[in-house]
Structure 1
Amino acid sequence: MATTAPLLSAAARRCSRSASAVVRRHVIDSHNLTLDGCAAFREMPRATFSSSEAFEAVGHRWRIRWYPNGEEEIGWLARDGYTSLFLELDNDDRTTDPVDFRFSLLDHAGCPSRATVWLRHVFSSDDRGSDRWKCQGFHYFMKWTDLEKSGCLKDDRFIVRCDISSVKWMEADEIADAGDGTAAPVAQRVVVPPSNLHAHLSDLLWKKQGVDVAIDVAGETFEAHGWLLKARAPVLEAELLAATKEKEKAPGGGARRRMEIEGMEAKVFKAMLHFVYTDRLPEMGERETVAMAQGLLAAAHRYKIEKLKLMCEEMLCKRINVNTVATIMVVAEEHGCHNLKAACLEFIGRPGNAKAVMASEGFEKVKASCLPLMMELVVMKKLA
C-alpha cells in the first residue's frame, strides 16, 4: 500500500490534451463527358445547347453545357464553325470564392490532346437576381474542322474532361496527445522541405560547372550542358548537333560544341534556358511581361517545349486588353495557339471592343503583318 498513494497522485495530476487544425487545401476534381451523336448535333441551330447530368466537384453540383454550333450571346460572324462549352452551377448555391476550371479534349487513350487555359470565375447571381453569372465558359472551345483533324472524333463521338479547382478550408481530424503533456502531433515533428532541385540546377547553369556547350545569341554567349539539353530540349540539342561538326577546347579543359542561334533576342534565350534548367520562368517586371511572353512563346514553339508554350499562353491570356489584343492574336496565329486566339476573339467580341481595338496603337503596328486576321477584325467591327 505504500506505493499506491504516489501512483494515484501522479495519475490525478495527468491532464488529457487534444489538438485540431484548420487546413487550407487546394482541391481539384475532374469530370469526363462523352459527346455522342455529333452528326445529329451539328444539324441543331446555333445557340441551342445540351446539358450533362449533374455531377459533384469541389463541394458543389455542376452541369456542362454543350453548344454544338456555338453560343450566340453576341452573335457575330467569326463564331461560325466553333463548338462551345460552358460550366454551370446546378443548384441554388453560389461560390463565394473563385473557382478555376478548364476543358480538355481527350484522345483515345484518355490523355489530353488539347486543353483550354484555366478560367477563373465566381459563380453567383448578380445584384438583380440574374443567374447568368452561374454559367461561364469558352465560346471558342474548338473548330469542328480542327476537331475532325485531331483524331479524337471517332465513331461520331468525342470525350472532354472538365477540371475544376478551388481552395477549401478543411478541419483536420482531432489529434489526441499521448498524455505526458509534451508530445506534439506527428505532423509537427517531421517537416519535409519543398524540393529545391531547381535551385541546384540553376547553380549548375550559372556557375558553369561542367559545361560542354556554347551557344551564341545576338552577341552574347551562353554555356550549357549537352546532357540536360538532350533531356529537356531535344530539338535544340538536335539543332546543336547538326550545326556542330568539330568540338573546340573549353576554357577549363575538355571539349565543347558551339553554335549560333539567329532570330532571337539574348534575353529571351536566357529566359528559355532558365526554364529548361529549372522548369520555372525567371522573375520579370509587369511592363516587360507581354513582350517577353511573346518572345518566349515563339522560342518554345520553335524548339517544341510544350509546357513553356502553355505557360506563355496563360500569361498572355491574363494580359489581353484593348492595346495588346491585336499583337497577341497575331502571335497566336503564327504559332498555332488556338486557345489563345479564341481568348482574343472572345475579348474582341464584347460590345464596343472591336472598334476600340481597331483604333489602338497595337492594331496600327500589326495591321499589315497578318491580313487575314485584320480582315476578321474589320468584319467584327461592322457587326459590333
Structure 2
Amino acid sequence: MTLGWIGIFRLGLVQMSLGGMVVLTTSTLNRLMVVELALPAVLAGVLVALHYAVQITRPSWGYRSDTSGNRTRWIVGGITVLAIGAFSASAGVVMMGHAFWPGLMLSFVAYLLIGLGAGAGGTSLLALMATCTRPDRRAAAATITWLMMIFGIAATAGTVGALLEPYSPELLLEIVATVCIGSVILTVLATWGVERGLTAEPEPDAAPLMQGLREIWAEPRARIFTFFVFLSMTAYFMQELILEPYAGFVFGLTPGQTTSLSGAQNGGVFVGMLAVGIGQSALRIGSLRSWVVTGCLGSALALLAIALLGQMNLPLIVPAVVMMGLFNGMFAVAAIGSMMQLASEGRTAREGTRMGLWGAAQAVAAGFGGLAGAGAADLLRLWTSIPTAFGLVFIVEAALFVVSALMALRILEGGRGMPAGRLVPGE
C-alpha cells in the first residue's frame, strides 16, 4: 500500500506543527535577545547555530527509522522533544532578563533539544513520505507538505505577532506554551494509524550506519546534490537571524511587528511554492532548473533591495521582504522535489539515511549561514553604521544566491517534462 492524498495531507500537518514551533525560536526569541535585551546578535546566532549543529545527527535518526520498522514513534517522539525545547528556550530568554547566566544555560540545553527533536521527527517524517508515496506523486507530496509547513510558519508568526502586543514576558510564555502543546496534540492525531500497512519490515541485513553513508556518498547524484544543498542553503539562511533586528533597529518596528514581518516573509514563501507547484505540475511551465535559477536570482535582487532601503530610509521593508520570500519559495520547492525523487534512487531501504544526509547538509549550512550573518553584522557595526553593516551582509547573501544559480545551471537538467530532481550524471 502507498500513501493516498489524505495520508499526505495528514503528514503535512506534522510539518505545519514543526514549522510553527521552530519559527518562534529563530525569529521572535532572536529579536528579543538582540533588541529588547541588547545582547550581541552573535549570541543569538550561536544558540540557533547550536540547534542546527545538533542536526548533523539526522543520518543516524534516518538510519534508526529505516531499521526499526516503525517511523511514527520517531516522528511523535521528535516533535515532543522539540516542543519541550521550544518552551524551555522561551523561558531561558525571559530568565536572561534578570538572571543572565542561568537563563543562558537553560537556553543552551533548550536549543540542543530543539535540534534533536527537529532532526529525529523531521527526518523520519520525510523518510516515511519517500518510502510510502508513489513515485509519480513524490514531487507533489513534497510541495503539499512544504506548503503546509510554510503556512504553519506564516500563520504562527503572524498570529503570535498580533497576540504579543503589548509585549510582556508572561504573555510570551503563555503563547509559546499554547503553540507547543497544540503542536504535539496535532502531531499525535495526524500520525495515528497512518503508517499501518504502508511500510515494509526493516531490512534484515541492514548495513551499519557508516557503511550505508559510504555507499550513498559513492552515488554521484547523491554526492553532487549534497554540495548543492549546502551552498544554496547557506545563502537561504544568512538573513534568518538579522532580518528582524534590522527591521527593529533601522525601521523602528516593535517585537509584534517584526514577528508579523516574519509571517509576511513566509507568506511570500508559501505563494512562491504554490506558483511552482501549479506552474510546473499542472500548467507545465518551465523546468526544474528554470524555477531554481529564477528563485535564486530573484532572491538576490530582493536582498539587494532590502539593503538599499535601509540606506535610503524608505519604509518599504514589508513588500521587499515578501518579494524575498516569494523567490525563496520558488527555489526551495524545486530543491525539495529533487530531494524526494533522489531519496529512492540507488540501494533500497536507504530513504531515511539519504534524507538524513541531505538534512544534515542543510542543517550545517543553516547554522553556518545564520551564525556567519549574525557575526558579520556585529563586527561591521563596530566600524560603520547599522544600516550599512546589515546591508553588507545582505549583499554577500545575494552574491551566494547568484553562485547557487550558476551551480544549478550546471548540475540540473533543463528539459521540460523531466521528473523533478533529475541531475546531470557524471558531473
Tell me if both proteins adopt one fold, taking TM over 0.5 as the criterion.
Answer: no
Rg larger for: 1
Q: TM-score range by the shorter chain?
A: under 0.3
Using CA pairs below 8 Å that are at least 6 residues apart, which structure has the higher relative contact order?
2
- Larger helix proportion of the pair: 2
TM-score by length of 1: 0.26
Say which structure is richer in strand: 1
